[in-house]
Amino acid sequence: MSGAVAGGGVQSAGLGAAAAGCCSSLSGAGSAALLGGGSGIAGRLPSRVLEHIFSYLELADLMNCSHVCWHWYNCLADENSEVWRSLCARLLSEEALRSDILCNLSSYKTKLKSFQHALSSHDCSRNVYIKKNGFTLHRNPIAQSTDGARGKIGFSEGRHAWEIWWEGPLGTVAVIGIATKRAHMQCQGYVALLGSDDQSWGWNLVDNNLLHNGEVNGNFPQCNNAPKYQIGERIRVILDMDDKTLAFERGFEFLGVAFRGLPKTCLFPAVSAVYGNTEVTMVYLGRPLDG
pLDDT tens-digit profile of 182-235? 999 999 999 999 999 999 999 999 999 999 999 999 999 988 788 899 999 999
pLDDT at 112 over 80: yes
Please choose, from the candidates 61, 42, 130, 54, the residue with its C-alpha nearest in 3D space to the C-alpha of residue 93.
130
Provide mean pLDDT across the span 89-104: 94
Provide mean pLDDT across the span 19-38: 42
pLDDT at 19 over 90: no
Residue 214 near residue 202 (C-beta atoms within 8 A):
no
Please give the mean pLDDT across all residues of the chain.
Answer: 87
Least confident of 67-76, 202-211, 225-234, 241-250: 67-76
pLDDT at 90 over 70: yes
Please choose, from the candidates 35, 22, 76, 77, the residue with its C-alpha nearest in 3D space to the C-alpha of residue 52.
76
pLDDT at 113 over 80: yes
Burial class (CB in 10 A: 0-12, 13-18, 19+), 166: buried
Domains and CATH numbers, the chain: 43-91 (1.20.1280), 121-286 (2.60.120.920)
Instruction: Count the alpha carbons within 13 Å of 22 in the hemisphere toward its beta carbon.
Output: 22
**CA–CA distance, 217 with 246 (Å, rounded to integer):** 13
Provide mean pLDDT across the span 244-261: 95
Confidence of residue 42 (pLDDT cuts 50, 70, 90): low
The model's pTM: 0.84
